[in-house]
Amino acid sequence: MRTRTTIVTVALVVLGVAISMRAATVARTAGPAAPPRLIDTGLYQADQPGVASTPGMPGQIDARNRPFSPQYPLWSDGATKRRWVYLPPRATIDATNGSDWNLPVGTRFWKEFSFGGRKVETRFMWRASADRWVFASYAWNADGTDAVLASADGVFGVAELLPGRQHAIPSVSDCHACHESTRVTPLGFNALQLSTDRDPGAIHGEPLEAGMVTLATLVAEGRLRGARADLLASPPRIRTESAATRSVLGYLAANCGGCHNRESGIALLGGSLKDSDVVDGDAVVRAMTGKRTMWQRPGAVEGETRLIDSGSPETSALLIRMQSRRLSSQMPPLGTALADRVAIEHIARWMRTLGRERTRD
């Protein structure tokens, strides 16, 4: 049993290294580069005559960069986040694949991270050409007056989360590893995430604010090409009678679906959790419940570990790996230093209800 567990652990580490090496190779491809300062990315309004501002310093967000809020946010160690997207004038999104939109050249995304009211970093994605996305992160100075391009290798310790736990700015390779399966795609900007049928029970859900981009605004502006005709009449949602199941699967799609999907090489570790694959919520839960995993729970008999062990959160691989922050077992494997306690408690309660439902059946 120990030998099997060791082999699987080593395989996971090797796979992670392989993903990072492939991403690093992509990142080194010659082409357009990220500018040296955040103000040069186009996020902020240019200095205008008669408008009070500090030349060369971040100020008002350019009105062409529009805020949005995915209904199922990614866990980022409790950071407060703001997001903006820029779509080139008259450009359209190929929305034939509802969960994997093909965005036009010139599209830009920004995501700002704050801890304790202090801006720490702003991440930047730019579709610079048909075959190249540029990734970058910008580190803010202590007084929030400027943000400069972070090292491509990332920056550790930019904000203390808890004693001994620090927020790190990711490397460019980490960005590729999370955003790239079949092709590079932003997380949190697709039909389900921007759906007008918004989940009121979403874990860490954020309120929509005036002016935010939604599925309705994109349709009204004629921005979606190839989308189904009834997209607004029947907006995307996770279909289930259980509000808890809907919120859990939405959380898993956002935090796990980027890697655990049909196109990824690690789908075998637990099935597909991509947005489009969790729409039939009850079917997904049936497929996950009782599913044996390659990863073995420490101390378990070989072959005993289940992805979801019905009614037993403490023995379920899904929850054990969410709780872990060890390199060999934590999930997600990148981008977090803290386990998401709110989500863990929510998912544990949900798993217990699955056990009660199974007993009634």
Q: Find out whether the peptide bond into 332 is cis, omega within 30 degrees of 0.
A: yes
Length of the chain: 361
**Any domain includes 290:** yes
Same domain, 21 and 37: no
**Any domain includes 227:** no
Q: Which pLDDT does position 195 carry in this prediction?
A: 95
Tell which residue, 266, 271, 268, 265, has the closest CA to residue 253.
Answer: 271
Burial 166-190 (b: 16+ CB within 10 A, else e): ebbbbbbbbbbbbbbbeebbbbbbb
Same domain, 147 and 291: no
Same domain, 326 and 205: no
Last residue of a domain, one of 196, 222, 248: 222
- pTM equals 0.84
Q: Is 239 helix (H, G, I), strand (E, B) or coil?
A: strand
Same domain, 253 and 173: no
Tell which residue, 253, 247, 244, has the closest CA to residue 275.
Answer: 253
Last residue of a domain, one of 222, 250, 269: 222
Same domain, 120 and 181: yes
Same domain, 88 and 209: yes
Q: What percent of the chain has pLDDT over 90?
A: 58
3-state helix, strand, coil in the chain (%, to 5): 30, 20, 50
- Domain membership of residue 156 as a residue range: 33-46+56-222
Same domain, 253 and 327: yes
Last residue of a domain, one of 198, 222, 246: 222
**Any domain includes 228:** no
Same domain, 10 and 77: no
Same domain, 20 and 128: no
DSSP class per residue in 165-229:
EEEEEPPHHHHHHHHBSSSB--TT-STTTT-SS--TT-TT-----TT-B-HHHHHHTT-EES--T
CA gap 103, 64 in Å, rounded: 16
- Identify residue 291 by its one-letter amino acid code: K
How confident is the model over 34-52, as pLDDT tens digits? Answer: 999 999 999 999 765 544 4
Same domain, 142 and 289: no
**Any domain includes 229:** no
Residue 141 Cα to chain centre, angstroms? 25
Domain count for the chain: 2
- Across the chain, which distance is largest between two alpha carbons, in Å? 73
**Any domain includes 300:** yes
**Any domain includes 250:** yes
Q: Is 244 helix (H, G, I), strand (E, B) or coil?
A: helix
For the chain, state the CA radius of gyration: 21
Q: Which pLDDT does position 243 carry in this prediction?
A: 97
**Any domain includes 230:** no
Q: Which pLDDT does position 249 carry in this prediction?
A: 95
Torsion of CA 313, 318, 320, 324, to 10 degrees: -150
- Which burial class, exposed, middle or buried, applies to 279 when counting CB atoms under 10 A from its CB (0-12, 13-18, 19+)? buried
Same domain, 178 and 100: yes
Taking the chain (361 residues) in runs of 10, the rounded mean pLDDT of each run is 44 43 46 92 77 66 97 95 97 89 96 95 95 94 93 86 87 68 76 95 95 96 95 94 96 87 59 77 91 83 86 93 87 86 97 72 48
Same domain, 286 and 336: yes
Beta bridge partners of 134: 126
